[in-house]
Chains A and B, each alone.
Chain A
């Protein structure tokens, strides 16, 4: 079965420190990979995606993500966290064969002042 895993339910960082939110995937072929963010009582907002090419992709609000094919990982990073980054983050993989977008279980990011 195809799946996306986010091993941490919650990540806590201090404002100004770097942050990493982890994601691994098990999807056949060469999936497209995405990160979305969800603020309380809101829908999902697109952050960034990996399609092909450079393993480091840059997205909205200063976020970036590192793709590692051998480890089937797509970790979300930011060099300096802000309190306003506190939200629920979802990693997702899009199967190029089926068009299905599969999500991880989500990671709550808490940035403390």
Chain B
């Protein structure tokens, strides 16, 4: 039981490049979320999903796209990377209700 798996762990991008951060969970959780963590700002919700085929925006969605074609996977796409997107990104999943979320180990992204 791997939990929530994020890849890659580290990435350096040039401004304007695109990339996809991968997130997969093997717990059959319906709820999945993406957060970014910046010093002094806690974790801010980018996008979240309450099930396959259903996604919605969080607090800071601009510059990011998501899709949820399967229950297991919830990739986060950066269409045109900007230095302001330099951050640590966390994916999380939950069975819903009061279960709370399980977090992946994070992806550290630097945009130069």
Q: Chain A interface (Cβ within 8 Å of chain B)?
A: 6, 9, 32, 34, 36, 42-44, 46, 49, 51, 90, 92, 94, 96, 99-106
Contact = CB atoms under 8 A, between A and B. Distances in A.
B109 to A, nearest CB: 14
11 contacts: A6-B42, A43-B103, A44-B43, A96-B97, A99-B31, A99-B48, A99-B94, A100-B48, A101-B100, A103-B35, A103-B43
A109 to B, nearest CB: 15
B110 to A, nearest CB: 15
Q: Number of contact residues on B: which range applies? A: 20 to 34
B103 to A, nearest CB: 4
Given A42-B105, A100-B48, A101-B45, A49 B100 contact: yes
Contact of B105 (A36, A43, A90): A43
Contact of A43 (B50, B58, B106): B106
Nearest to B40: A105
A100 to B, nearest CB: 6
B58 A51 contact: no
Contacts of A51: 98
Given A42-B105, A99-B48, A101-B92, A34 B42 contact: no
B45 A105 contact: no
B33 A101 contact: yes
Given A42-B105, A99-B94, A100-B48, A94 B100 contact: yes
Interface in B55-76: 58
B41 interface: yes
Contacts of B35: 103
A9 B100 contact: no
